[in-house]
Structure 1
């Protein structure tokens, strides 16, 4: 058989701290004070203007570089250093600076590529014109982050 003790009720916060619920509190202003003398700027953070303009870096391109020359119908190596580990897959797009302003044509080189730093294009499309103003755009699958390579040439 269990024996029970008689327990006394626990004191309330009012009992402990001596608050009296009957005391009226002073009325607070409807809007907070916002004059410069009242606001203190924290020195622990820099300007937010730079944070708004800069976005997280997706990757660093290692190849192709400015001195790179791709040959049509030949393999091409693309290399990068992944920096944003939250991006598991990327899209690789080939663009030409001169066509961006005219036709806005582009070639999707690969889609849903593992962001591991290496992709080998089996062959550079033969339909591409010989020129020196091509570049590769590495982009997140949602298109929010991207990095462009330096311009390079494609030819024979």
Structure 2
């Protein structure tokens, strides 16, 4: 499995699955969540409402999969990242669970390419350097699986791009 980082807008990426940093309502919000819902269109919102009607809200660390609507992808995998507040080990574990549960859904749905945003680093205020380390370390645990062929970390801002690039290209990780 190849892991790479780019600086771009995740809504423009061609991938089997694009990951949405959703909120627990699954009804869209700000940041990446709002952008994915706006560009993906009403099909995504309808699919999210169907999921809510079956299971209720999506808890922090969990992930669900829907159509990608108008996006250049087959699926959107929605995962709810933790709000940092005072932080702590529990928040770190929950963020790792976002990546784990997304990868499990990707493998279950025979997804070859997954594009991740920087989960929880916007309005949820997770420290960007710590979030990058958790994301990369968690994804590296899936190197041996044979379904997902490529994971792309799509960084909207230069700061996140540089953090991910440095970690991915550091020989000590």
TM-score > 0.5, shorter chain as reference: no
> Which of the five TM-score ranges fits, normalised by the shorter chain?
under 0.3
Structure showing greater Rg: 1
TM-score of the pair, normalised by structure 1:
0.21
Question: Relative CO higher for 1 or 2, CA cutoff 8 Å, sep ≥ 6?
Answer: 2
Higher strand share: 1
